[in-house]
Amino acid sequence: MLSLGQFVAWPMKATQAKYCKFAYSSTFGFSVPTGSLIQQIAPDNTLALSKDGATTWSVKWKCSTAKYFSARIQQLGSIEEVTLAAQVIWSPWAHDGQVTVTTTLVPPTSRWPDWHVRVHRIRYNGRDKLRSLHLVEGGFAISRVPAGIARNLPLFLEKEDSDLFNESLGKSQGIFVGQESALVISPAGASGIRASASTFTYGRRAMTEHEVMKPDSNTNLIAQRTLIPVANNEVLGLDSGDEIELVTAVFAVVAGGENDQTRSLRDRWMDFPKVHIQSPSIDQKNEDSLIIIPL
């Protein structure tokens, strides 16, 4: 279940975890914080920001009323599909408003049923130069308890994963981390993330690193021990008016249930949404595309 505009205005216990994440799952559950460190916050399905060198973190709480618009799925040689997208504006530090985030959420589509897409437009409004801004975006938390007598899920390089990817969900298991993505496969299913960031003022791409985070035990409502695929960004030297755009595709498939039996896990993981944020006048690339025109 995707959730963008929901929040509770009064400070209930763990209100941001219970009501304000971008997605919730009856299979993977959700995580609640046990402390202030990023591993204790367990940032599944949320964007955590820090402006003090990754010492303290803030996530989405109160936000504007959600606005809805259409996103287009353009498929080569096929009829264009239209899906509903939602957008809100929020501030991780509402007391000073130095940073505002415009978040757009696009649900799974018939073209990419295993993925949903998040686009964050992050703007710095402060008067003084901001030394650094750290961003951590998480996918779904997934059980890290392996099958059999093993104590930990094995770590594999993406170039050596062909046999495991061809196994059916629930039988294969492993952790895959590359420059452009992170994926966890366990007896519970598969959870992954692919993200990229760019800074508009600088005209260059920000550095995005992927990892599989090991949060504190007992942070998740369903699994005692979990892993979270995350994308990390650090942007240095922000001036007033500088903006960062973070585009994230989140992958989640549960083991068992009604799964696509016609494609391997590899095919489903490698066939991710190609997101274009643009005006209608710009030509499209020669590939199936998810086209988002911001409000």
Taking only the tens place, the pLDDT of each residue in 261-270 is 678 888 899 9
Determine the Cα–Cα distance for residues 180 and 208; give it in Å rounded to an integer. 8
Contact (Cβ atoms closer than 8 angstroms) between residue 252 and residue 64: no
pLDDT at 95: 86
Q: Residue range 196-216: average pLDDT?
A: 81
Q: pLDDT tens digit string along 72-107? A: 998 876 778 899 999 999 999 988 889 999 999 999
DSSP string, 111-126: SSTTEEEEEEEEEE--
- Hey, CA dihedral for 39, 42, 47, 49, is it positive or negative? negative
Q: Mean pLDDT score of the chain, rounded to an integer? A: 88
Determine the Cα–Cα distance for residues 88 and 7; give it in Å rounded to an integer. 12
The position carrying tokens 């216990």 is 13
Q: Is residue 3 part of a domain?
A: no
pLDDT at 284: 55
The pTM score is 0.92
Q: Is residue 4 part of a domain?
A: no
Q: Is the pLDDT of residue 280 over 50?
A: no
Q: Percent of the chain, pLDDT > 90?
A: 63
Q: Is residue 147 part of a domain?
A: yes
Residue 270 is inside which H or E element, if any? helix 265-270
Q: Report the SS3 class of residue 269.
A: helix
**Among the listed ranges 21-25, 71-75, 107-111, which one has the minimum average pLDDT value?**
71-75
Q: Which residues contact 279 (CB under 8 A, 6 or more apart)?
A: 293
Between the ranges 150-159, 197-206, 259-268, where is the mean pLDDT highest?
259-268
Determine the Cα–Cα distance for residues 198 and 31; give it in Å rounded to an integer. 28
Confidence of residue 201 (pLDDT cuts 50, 70, 90): low
Domain that holds residue 169: 15-292
Q: Is the pLDDT of residue 148 over 70?
A: yes
From residue 80, give the alpha-carbon distance in Å to each of 65, 73, 226, 247, 274: 29, 6, 38, 22, 15
Quote the number of domains for the chain: 1
pLDDT at 10: 82
Q: Is the pLDDT of residue 124 over 70?
A: yes
Which has the higher per-residue pLDDT, 158 or 108?
108
Q: Is residue 113 part of a domain?
A: yes
Q: Is residue 117 part of a domain?
A: yes
Q: pLDDT tens digit string along 217-249? A: 999 999 999 999 999 999 998 999 999 999 999
Q: Is residue 76 part of a domain?
A: yes
Q: Is residue 164 part of a domain?
A: yes
Q: Is the pLDDT of residue 282 over 50?
A: no
Q: What is the DSSP letter of 138?
A: E
Q: Is residue 6 part of a domain?
A: no
Q: pLDDT tens digit string along 169-193? A: 777 788 999 989 999 999 999 999 9
pLDDT at 169: 75
